[in-house]
Amino acid sequence: MREMPPSHPFDDDKLKEECGVFGVVGVADAANFVALGLHALQHRGQEAGGIVAHDAVAGFSSARRFGYVRDNFTKASLMETLPGPLSIGHVRYSTAGSKGNTQIRDVQPFFGEFSMGGAAIAHNGNITNADALRKELIERGSIFQSSSDSECIIHLMARSLQRNIPERMKDALRRVEGAFSVVAMTRTKLIGVRDPLGVRPLVLGRLGNGWVLSSETCGLDIIGAEFIREIEPGEMVVISEKEGVHSFHPFERVAPRFCIFEHVYFSRPDSILGGRSVYETRRQIGVELAKESPVDADLVCPVPDSGTPAAIGFSQESGIPYAMGIVRNQYMGRTFIEPTEQIRNMGVRLKLNVNRALIKGKRVILVDDSVVRGTTSRKIKEMILDAGAAEVHFRIASPPTAWPCFYGVDTPDRDKLLAARMTEDEMRDYLGVDSLKFISLDGLYRAAGAAEGRNKACPQYCDACFSGEYPVEPRDMIAKGFELKAAE
C-alpha cells in the first residue's frame, strides 16, 4: 500500500521547488553519500526520492520510495542493495506530471538501456515544450512509463544517432526548452548539465579522490566535500574516476537568468549561490524593506522559518527589536496525514503558535517571504490579533507574486494568486492588516548583489513570477490558452 507523502496539509500556501539532485563518483558505497546529500536537499522535495547506483559486478541497481529520505534511505538493508562507486539521486515534489497523485513510476532517477549501455537521469526544473515533445515521440513509437516531463529526455537520447551517451544527452537537451539542471550517470561516468539560462542551481564538489554534483552547497557540506565551483549556465561536465572533470558548452551562449526566488525562499540559508551567502541576501532583503517601507512599531517578528533572516535585517536597519512572536511546531508532519475536518479547521495553529506574553498590546511587524493565495497570511494575522496585538503590519521579502512559474516551481494558476487579482491596497484590506508592503523588484535585486537594481533591458535574474516576463516562452501553456503579459 502506498504511503502518503508526509508534507503538511496546510503548507499549500507556499511556493514549492520541484526537486533536488545529487550525484557522487569515485567513492566506495557512493549511494550512502547520495542519501546524505538528498537529506540535506530535503527542503527541495518532500514527496518522494530515488537513488540509482552502479557496481562493476552487480551492474545498475535502484530504489524509489515515497516520503522522507530519513525514513527510507537510512536503512542498512536497503542501502546494501545499492553498491558501487557511482550513484545519483533525486528528491521531488510533483509539478509537471500527476500533481498530488504521484505513482512510483513517476519518481526519478529515470533509467534507460541503450546499445552502448545503461544510463540514469535526474532532473531539476521544468520542460516548457514537454507536451509537444511527448506527442511527437509517441507518434514515432516511444512508449512512456511516467507522467513526468523529464522522461522526454531519456526518449530523445534513445533516438539520437550519436555513439556515446554524453553526446546523445547533448542531442536530447538541444531539443528541450525551459529549465533543467540534470545529474546523470552511465556505467563509468557522472554527468552534470545546466540549461543555457542557468535557471536552476548545480554545484561541483570534491570528496577525497571522488567528485560530487549537488543542487546546493549544503549538500556538499553534509558529506564533508569541498566546494569547487558552480556548473556554469549552458555547461556540461562529464566526470570519471580515472579521468576527472571534462567540461563542454554544447548550447549557444545567452545571458544567464538564474531564478531569483532561489535567493528569496527555495535554497537553504546556509547555501552559497553565485558566490553569495543565501542567508546574507535574505538579511539584506530585510534591510532594503526597512529602508523602503518603514513603520512605527514595537516588535519585528518573522513568520517562521523562511521570514527569519529578513526579519533580522529589518530589525537591524530600523532599530526596532527583533522577537520570536510566533513559534513553529517542528513535530507535526505524520500525525496529520489524514486530518479530520475538525483538525483541518484549526488551520495554521497546528504548525504555528503565538507567543502571547510577548505580543499582547504591541504594534507588531510580521516579516514573511511571500504572499501566494493569502489564506495563511490571514490566519496568522487573526492569531496575532487574538493574542492581543495592538497593530499588525506585514512586510513581505519579495515583490507581489502575480504570475505562475513554468520552470520547476509548483505555482497555483494565475487566478488563484492574490497579487494577480488585487492591488497592494486591496490585498491589505483583504488580509485585514494595518499596513502591507512588498519589497520592490529593484530592492530585491540590490539585496541579491545588483547595486544598480534591475536591468530592465536585460534582467540579471529570472523574475517571471513577479514581472510576467518569461525568458523562455512556455509553449505548452500557451497552447492551453495561457496569455503572456503584453509588451509595455
Q: What are the distances in angstroms from CA 170 to CA 196, 202, 248, 311, 406? A: 12, 17, 10, 44, 22
Amino acid letter, residue 253: R
Q: What share of the chain is helix, strand, coil (3-state, %, to 5)?
A: 30, 25, 45
End-to-end Cα separation, the chain, in angstroms: 53
Contact 107, 118 (CB under 8 A): no
CA distance 69 to 380: 30
Residues 6+ apart with CB under 8 A from 426: none
CA distance 37 to 35: 5
Contact 39, 222 (CB under 8 A): yes
What is the sign of the dihedral through the CA atoms of 380, 382, 383 and 384? positive
Q: What are the distances in angstroms from CA 221 to CA 40, 50, 212, 271? A: 9, 21, 11, 9
Transcribe 408-446 into DSSP letters: SEE---GGG-HHHH--HHHHHHHHT-SEEEEPPHHHHHH
Q: What are the distances in angstroms from CA 323 to CA 290, 296, 359, 379? A: 16, 15, 9, 20
What are residue 21's phi and psi, to 5 degrees?
A: -130, 150
Map grid coordinates 512588498 to a residue.
438
E strands of 152-292, at which residues?
178-185, 189-194, 203-207, 210-214, 226-230, 236-240, 244-248, 258-259, 272-273, 276-277
Amino acid letter, residue 451: A
CA distance 305 to 280: 15
Contact 96, 406 (CB under 8 A): no
Residues that are catalytic:
19
Map grid coordinates 497570511 to a residue.
377
